Structure 1
Amino acid sequence: MAQIELKDVSLSYFTLKQETEALREINLSIKAGEFISIVGPSGCGKSTLLSLISGMLKPTKGEVLIDGHEVSGTSPKVGYMLQHDHLFEWRDVLSNLLVGAEIRRMDKKAARQNAIELLERYGLGEFAQHSPSQLSGGMRQRVALIRTLVAKPDILLLDEPFSALDYQTRLMLSEEVFHIIKDQGKTAILVTHDLSEAISMADRVMVMSKRPSTISTVHSIRFDEGDDLSPWKKREAGRYNYYFNAIWKELGDHVLP
């Protein structure tokens, strides 16, 4: 059974003067534990798709299902990690990690213990009492991911979480985040403009067309060297260039008139 399903999902925006069709008849099925990347031309509705899955938007037509139940609003099953970390500077790292748990009214003691354990597990234990301003950009994004995990979602939505970082930090953090998500056994959907990132992190890469957007193709990412490779090793694998060139050409076809 699919954990996430979109069935004939369309979304239009309405004003007094016109209707703008953003998404058209999106069909998507994602199993528990899958890592999916979504790429497409700018403005095609990649982030909009995440908003539909999170329950922050409702489709104009069709259904969005999580665990067989129609999404009717935001759910504790879904965690959202954005491009910017949005850490509160007046809170230390540990207090920042508890924000989501506080909003969801989880047991404070259990959430705090879970936060401490996750900090230790992922190499940030010594920074629990630091302020966010004392952390590097990569460390702040790791804290943002751990904050999302403290709330114990089953599904992680990642909306260009590395795009504000320099290239070297981005490479290192994508490696770390990949291993954290796999270690936690989460289902993940990554929206990115970086094809290398999309291919090296995902089990499948979905290519969206220009507006009104559909899912034009889906690439199952498989390597002769094995499917348990790290993102860095995937970039060095034999079929990596094949996937990169194929998806790059498709994106060009959707951008050019």
Structure 2
Amino acid sequence: MAQIELRDVSLRYFTIKEETEALRDINLTIEEGEFISIVGPSGCGKSTLLSLISGVMQPTEGEVHLFGETLNKTSDRTGYMLQNDHLFEWRSVLKNLLVGAEIRGMDLKEAEARALELLNRYGMGEFAHHSPKQLSGGMRQRVALIRTLVIQPEILLLDEPFSALDYQTRLTLSDEISTILREQKKTVILVTHDISEAIAMADRVIVMSKRPSTVKKDYNITFNGGRPSPFETRQRPEYNAYFSEIWKELEEHVHA
């Protein structure tokens, strides 16, 4: 059974003056443990698609299914990581990690033990009682990821989580986070405007068209000899071929 399934999903925004068609006839199936990247022209509705999968928004037409059931509200089985880390400066790193658990009414002793275990596992243990202002941008995003993992979601939605970082930090963090999420065996959907990042991190790259947006191409990303790390993928011959194809596909929709 597919973990996530979008069936003929369309979305329109209505205002007093006009109707805007954002998404049209989206059909997409994602299996358990897959890592999917979504790319497309600016303003095509990539983040809107994540909002539909999270249950924050409802489609105008069609259905979103999670774990075989129609989704009509937010699900505790889904976690969301945004572009901005949204850490509370007046709370320590550890206290920030417990925010989601507090909101969901989870056992806080268990959540704290899980948070400390994750901090230690991913090299952040010594910063548990630091203030977020003492952390670098990359460290803050790592904390934001751990905060998402503390609530034990089965599906992670990542909305351009590296876009505010400098290029070197972005490369390092995408490598680290990809490794963490594969180790945790999560199903992941990453929205990014960076083709290189999409190819380096994902098992599949979904290319969306300009508005009204639909799925135009679905690329299976494979490498001879098995999947290398995100950093190593950029040195493989397959990487250049995927980049060229996806770039051409996006160019067609930008200039169409």
Instruction: State the TM-score, normalizing by the size of structure 2.
Output: 0.99
Q: Which runs of structure 2 are paired with 1:58-77 in the superposition (5 Å)?
A: 58-77=58-77
Cα distance in structure 1, aligned partners of 2:119 and 2:223? 33
* Residue segments in structure 1 that go unaligned for 5+ positions in a row: none
**1:158 aligned partner, one-letter code:** L
* Moved >6 Å (runs of 4+): none
Partner of 2:236: 237
Pick which of 8-17 and 141-150 moved more. 8-17
The answer to whether the 8 Å contact 1:224/1:238 transfers is no
* Partner Cα separation in structure 2 for residue 144 and residue 74 of structure 1: 20
CA distance in 2, matches of 1:112, 1:226: 36
| Whole-Å separation in 1 of the counterparts to 2:226 and 2:177 | 20
What residue is the counterpart of 2:158 in the other structure? 158
Q: Which residue is 1:249 aligned to?
A: 248
> Identical aligned pairs, as a percentage?
70
Once the two structures are TM-superposed, the CA of residue 15 in structure 1 deviates from its matched residue by 1.2
- The answer to whether residue 103 in structure 2 is matched with residue 111 in structure 1 is no
Q: Name the CA distance, whole Å, in 2 between partners of 1:236 and 1:74.
A: 40
Cα distance in structure 2, aligned partners of 1:89 and 1:199: 34
Question: How big is the shift at 1:17?
Answer: 2.3
Judge conservation of contact 1:138–1:170 (CA < 8 Å) in 2.
yes
Distance between the aligned counterparts of 2:94 and 2:26, measured in 1? 39
Which residue of structure 2 lines up, in the alignment, with residue 179 of structure 1? 179
SS at match of 1:207: strand
Q: Which residue of 2 aligns with 1:93?
A: 93
Paired letter, 2:219: H
Aligned partner of 2:248: which letter?
K
Q: For residues 205-224 of structure 1, what are the structure 2 equivalents within 5 Å?
A: 205-224=205-224
- Cα distance, 1:96 vs structure 2: 0.2
- Matched to 1:250, the amino acid is E
Q: SS of the residue aligned with 1:188?
A: strand
- The aligned runs of 1:11-90 (5 Å cut-off) are 11-90=11-90
Deviation for aligned residue 1:225: 3.2
> Does the 8 Å CA contact 1:155/1:186 hold for their aligned counterparts?
yes
Give 1:122-141 correspondences, 5 Å limit: 122-141=122-141
TM-score by length of 1: 0.99
Given that residues 225 and 237 in structure 1 are in contact (C-alpha distance below 8 angstroms), is that contact kept between their aligned partners in structure 2? no
